[in-house]
């Protein structure tokens, strides 16, 4: 049997020659979660003018420490007149700082008597003033290409008056479920059958990685039908994903179908779970190729394979560096384990305690036990032939989409 490939080789094979997809223009209101295809330059200063951070009084700091006449009232949105020396202006949060003023004193610190106000001494220049361009300077890069649009990113764009953005189109994915024993929820279960857990799980993971699932199909355990399903899926999608049927049994037709139709880049990895994972390419017509990822059927193998391979693949297709890698945190093991020849990605729950971050492993780490993933928020990496004892530091991959 050929040697198992380390994950680093597999990721290299998976991402080799993957280029970001074309771009499309979208209304800002539909762009949440999408990835910018080009940098966005700031055309406005934010804030656009010096303004008050408080409801209070604007003045020259040099005039503080006495009673001053209140010479004007500046609400947010109304223009300010220049401020006469030796006077102050009633001002509200967001109101434009009048020319000549260099500080604001909040109203709680000011005594008011009719048209005059007593300002305490010792006010510093710049007090409670938000300077023009403090947040964004016109001409600077507002957001880099490759930025995934979060809630704050959308707000930042809107702050420039932007209502349309150029983003990468979402990778189109075909998700095929193999296995005669796998049936869809909503249909009765015959002896020997089980419900398709992988489909909704992977659909949701793919959506959270920025992909669009455009085709779903159940593939019977038959060599010819597997081949025709793969060919049909490749014509429709940038990425074809199968679950199950990649191991060595007689009913495992996926790898042979891939060999016959396209190219197998890599098969059998030194990871647990996910050993029989297969990576390759399928022709799509017009000289184009679809990427192929064959995930093992065991639900945990599919789950872990999605985080380790589908997320970086979507990141590369979207030109989004943040999706290409998972954040690594070091946590203290609260359990014991030993590994064999494969690197083990253990499902753990992280606890943020006063003593530091702890990794709590689920008792049953078998690749069929999906309950181990439901509350997991990280994958602890345990290298091959290692013994882990409570208290040992472990590198953990944080499962954030
Ligand atoms: N002789 C060997 N047998 C196996 C090996 C091996 O090296 N030599 N590897 C084992 C490992 S590791 C894995 S992982 C599995 C993966 O095999 P397949 O990808 O071919 O997966 P299947 O056999 O089709 O299914 C495995 C298991 O998962 C269930 N399944 C499949 N699809 C779904 C689904 N959509 N939802 C829920 N459950 C699903 C399926 O019924 C099986 O129970 O191979 C080992 N065997
Ligand atoms: O590789 Mo399998 O997922 O260990 O059971």
Residue 2 in any domain: the answer is: no
Output the six-digit token pair for 37.
Answer: 């295809």
Distance CA 175, CA 215 (A): 6
Note the ligand closest to the C-alpha atom of 303. 2
Residue having the nearest C-alpha atom to atom 9 of ligand 1: 247
**For 367-395, what is each residue's pLDDT tens digit?**
999 999 999 999 999 999 999 999 999 99
Are 266 and 386 part of one and the same domain?
A: no
Are 176 and 238 part of one and the same domain?
A: yes
**For 64-110, what is each residue's pLDDT tens digit?**
999 999 999 999 999 999 999 999 999 999 999 999 999 999 999 99
Are 293 and 388 part of one and the same domain?
A: no
Mean pLDDT of 51-57: 98
Ligand 1 center to residue 298 CA distance, Å?
5
Ligand 1 center to residue 342 CA distance, Å?
17
Beta strands at 116-118 and 111-113: parallel, antiparallel or unpaired: antiparallel
**In terms of pLDDT, which residue wins out, 401 or 14?**
14
Q: Which residue shows structure tokens 């349309």? A: 164
Q: What is the dihedral of CA 8, 268, 364, 175, to 10 degrees?
A: 90
Are 156 and 59 part of one and the same domain?
A: no
Are 122 and 255 part of one and the same domain?
A: no
pTM: 0.95
Which ligand 2 atom sits closest to the C-alpha of 275?
A: 1
Distance CA 213, CA 206 (A): 7
Are 291 and 339 part of one and the same domain?
A: no
Note the ligand closest to the C-alpha atom of 269. 2
Do the Cβ atoms of 377 and 399 come closer than 8 Å? yes
Residue that finishes a domain, picked among 286, 305, 324: 324
Residue 1 in any domain: the answer is: no
> How many domains is the chain built from?
4
Q: Which domain holds residue 146?
A: 25-45+135-168
Are 226 and 247 part of one and the same domain?
A: yes
**For 261-280, what is each residue's pLDDT tens digit?**
999 999 999 999 999 999 99
**For 294-342, what is each residue's pLDDT tens digit?**
999 999 999 999 999 999 999 999 999 999 999 999 999 999 999 999 9
- The region of weakest confidence among 216-220, 228-232, 245-249 is 245-249
DSSP code of 120? P
Ligand 2 center to residue 44 CA distance, Å?
54
Ligand 1 center to residue 244 CA distance, Å?
6
The CA distances from residue 392 to 16, 341, 357, 386, in Å, are 35, 20, 12, 11
Could you report the predicted ipTM of this complex, rounded to two decimals?
0.98
CATH number for position 36: 3.90.105.10
Q: Is the pLDDT of residue 2 over 80?
A: no
- Measured from the CB, is residue 253 less than 6 Å from ligand 1? no
Note the ligand closest to the C-alpha atom of 340. 2
Which ligand 2 atom sits closest to the C-alpha of 277?
A: 1
Residue having the nearest C-alpha atom to atom 30 of ligand 1: 297
* Residue 59 pLDDT: 98
Output the six-digit token pair for 114.
Answer: 């009719």
**For 166-193, what is each residue's pLDDT tens digit?**
999 999 999 999 999 999 999 999 999 9
* Residue 401 pLDDT: 85
Are 173 and 318 part of one and the same domain?
A: yes
Ligand 1 center to residue 222 CA distance, Å?
16
Ligand 2 center to residue 309 CA distance, Å?
15
CATH number for position 86: 2.170.190.11
Q: Is the pLDDT of residue 1 over 80?
A: no
Note the ligand closest to the C-alpha atom of 298. 1
Ligand 1 center to residue 191 CA distance, Å?
18
Are 202 and 284 part of one and the same domain?
A: yes
- Measured from the CB, is residue 243 less than 6 Å from ligand 1? yes
Do the Cβ atoms of 314 and 238 come closer than 8 Å? no
Which ligand 1 atom sits closest to the C-alpha of 181?
A: 41
Residue 67 in any domain: the answer is: yes
Residue that finishes a domain, picked among 283, 303, 324: 324
Average pLDDT, the chain: 97
Residue that finishes a domain, picked among 130, 147, 178: 130
Are 217 and 164 part of one and the same domain?
A: no
CATH number for position 312: 3.40.980.10
């Amino acid at each position: 049997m050929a040697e198992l490939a380390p994950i680093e080789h597999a990721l290299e094979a998976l991402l080799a020659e993957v280029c970001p997809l074309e771009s499309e223009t979208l209304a800002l209101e539909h762009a949440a979660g999408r990835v910018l295809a080009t940098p966005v330059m700031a055309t406005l200063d934010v804030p656009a003018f010096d303004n008050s951070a408080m409801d209070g009084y604007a003045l020259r700091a040099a005039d503080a420490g006495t009673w001053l006449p209140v010479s004007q009232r500046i609400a947010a949105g109304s223009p300010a007149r220049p401020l006469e020396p030796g006077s102050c202006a009633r001002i509200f949060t967001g109101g434009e700082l009048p020319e000549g003023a260099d500080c604001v004193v909040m109203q709680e610190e000011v005594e008011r008597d009719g048209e005059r106000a007593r300002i305490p001494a010792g006010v510093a220049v710049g007090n409670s003033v938000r300077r023009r361009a403090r947040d964004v300077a016109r001409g600077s890069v507002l957001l880099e290409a490759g930025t995934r649009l979060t809630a704050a990113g959308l707000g930042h764009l809107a702050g420039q008056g932007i209502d349309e953005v150029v983003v990468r189109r979402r990778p189109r994915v075909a998700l095929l479920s193999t296995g005669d024993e796998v049936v869809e929820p909503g249909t009765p279960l015959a002896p020997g059958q089980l419900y398709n857990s992988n489909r909704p799980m992977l659909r949701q993971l793919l959506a959270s990685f920025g992909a669009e699932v455009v085709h779903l199909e159940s593939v019977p355990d038959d060599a010819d039908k597997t081949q025709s399903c793969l060919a049909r899926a490749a014509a429709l999608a940038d990425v074809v994903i199968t679950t199950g049927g990649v191991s060595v049994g007689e009913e495992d037709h996926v790898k042979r179908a891939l060999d016959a139709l396209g190219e197998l880049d890599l098969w059998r990895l030194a990871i647990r779970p996910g050993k029989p994972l297969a990576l390759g390419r399928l022709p799509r017509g017009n000289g184009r190729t679809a990427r192929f990822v064959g995930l093992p059927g065991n639900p945990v193998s599919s789950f872990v394979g999605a985080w380790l391979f589908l997320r970086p693949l979507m990141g590369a297709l979207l030109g989004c560096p943040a999706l290409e890698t998972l954040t690594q945190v070091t946590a203290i093991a609260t359990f014991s384990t030993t590994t064999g020849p494969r690197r083990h990605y253990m499902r753990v729950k992280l606890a943020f305690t006063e003593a530091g971050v702890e990794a709590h492993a689920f008792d049953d780490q078998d690749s069929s036990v999906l309950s181990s993933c439901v509350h997991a928020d990280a994958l602890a990496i345990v290298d091959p032939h290692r013994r882990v004892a409570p208290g040992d530091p472990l590198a953990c991959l944080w499962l954030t989409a």
